[in-house]
């Protein structure tokens, strides 16, 4: 049977969805979850949240480019349809446009993903323009930018006071004007997210930024009920932690009582056909 040629969704496809049917996205860091998500989402983000979710780190700051590339390759192997976007981690792109390009080239060549994401607004606009002009599709990330936690001081929502809107709006406009094909808006008050979405040309992908955005993203483990603590904007669509714990408890009990492995789980001797 001939292989079915399934074309992946591209960054320009996502860009063209501005103002249309909402864009659906989730994070994934593994081949097996990527496989489950692939048919249902428009893009999969290999987010640097993997530092906190997979590795138990306090923040995303210690995440390295090698960690992102390793998990990006796994997600690419597990998916064939969704656009895969890989986060540039802290320290891999801020020093210069050249540093950013070198990191993007590694990510694109070593994972074969379709786009990268980086945090920052006005201060990153020249870098975004430089990357886009050189063939790198860039997704922006404004509002709460977790890589800046050490200067922000907390993960609290932004723009809940109208007096704080101007710099966030300027960040979003700078990212869009620099050529980003889409931007994540994280933890921003609803009216500001609505204003940004109305005023920028590229799609906005909200995480804690209201239904006014052009699309939505959540961290998979948060929405599946695997993360012990989640922000207010997360809706839990599953309670996997309880399921996993119950399964592990059953397994431990059955091993201790020698109920497992049962006859269905062992290899019997081959039956020899008699020659007489």
Name every residue whose Cβ is closer than 8 Å to that of residue 95 and which is 6 or more positions away in sequence.
none
CB of 207 vs ligand KIV, minimal distance in Å? 5
Q: In whole angstroms, give the CA distance from residue 227 to residue 218.
A: 12
Instruction: Please confirm, yes or no, whether 186 is among the known catalytic residues.
Output: yes
CB 115 within 8 A of CB 85: yes
Which of 48, 171, 221, 222 touches ligand KIV (CB under 6 A)?
A: 48
Q: Does residue 72 touch ligand KIV according to CB under 6 A?
A: no
Buried b (16+ CB within 10 A) or exposed e, 225-246: bbbeebbebbeeeeebeeeeee
Site string for ligand KIV, 177-196 (x = CB under 6 A): -------x-x----------
Q: In whole angstroms, give the CA distance from residue 149 to residue 44.
A: 24
Contact stretch for ligand KIV (CB under 6 A) within 46-54, 65-73, 156-164, 259-267: 46-54
Q: Quick one: 87 or 171, whose CB is closer to ligand KIV? A: 87
Q: In whole angstroms, give the CA distance from residue 235 to residue 241.
A: 15
> Strand pairing partners for 158?
188
CB of 104 vs ligand KIV, minimal distance in Å? 16
Site string for ligand KIV, 82-121 (x = CB under 6 A): -----x----------------------------------
DSSP 8-state symbol, 230: -
Which of 49, 79, 111, 216 touches ligand KIV (CB under 6 A)?
A: 49
Binding site for ligand KIV (CB under 6 A): 27, 45, 47-49, 87, 141, 184, 186, 207, 217, 219
């Amino acid at each position: 049977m001939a292989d079915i040629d399934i074309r992946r969704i591209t960054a320009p496809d996502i860009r063209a969805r501005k103002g249309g049917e909402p864009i659906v996205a989730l994070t994934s860091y593994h081949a097996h979850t990527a496989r489950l998500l692939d048919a249902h989402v428009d893009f999969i983000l290999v987010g640097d949240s993997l530092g906190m979710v997979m590795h138990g780190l306090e923040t995303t700051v210690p995440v390295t480019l090698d960690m992102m590339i390793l998990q990006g390759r796994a997600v690419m192997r597990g998916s064939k349809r969704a656009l895969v976007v890989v986060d540039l981690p802290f320290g891999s792109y801020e020093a210069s446009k050249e540093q950013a390009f070198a990191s993007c080239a590694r990510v694109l060549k070593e994972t074969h993903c379709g786009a990268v994401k980086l945090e920052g607004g006005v201060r990153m606009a020249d870098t975004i323009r430089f990357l886009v002009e050189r063939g790198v599709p860039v997704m922006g990330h404004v509002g709460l930018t977790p890589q800046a936690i050490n200067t922000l001081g907390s993960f609290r929502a932004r723009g809940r006071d109208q007096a704080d809107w101007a710099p966030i709006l300027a960040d979003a406009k700078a990212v869009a004007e620099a050529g980003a094909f889409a931007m994540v808006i994280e933890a921003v008050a609803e009216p500001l997210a609505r204003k940004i979405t109305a005023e920028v040309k590229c799609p906005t992908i909200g995480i804690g930024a209201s239904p006014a955005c052009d699309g939505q993203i959540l961290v998979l483990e948060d929405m599946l009920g695997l993360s012990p603590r989640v922000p207010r904007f997360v809706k839990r669509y599953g309670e996997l932690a309880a399921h996993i714990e119950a399964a592990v408890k059953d397994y431990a009990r059955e091993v201790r009582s020698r109920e497992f492995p049962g006859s269905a789980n062992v290899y019997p001797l081959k039956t020899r056909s008699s020659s007489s």
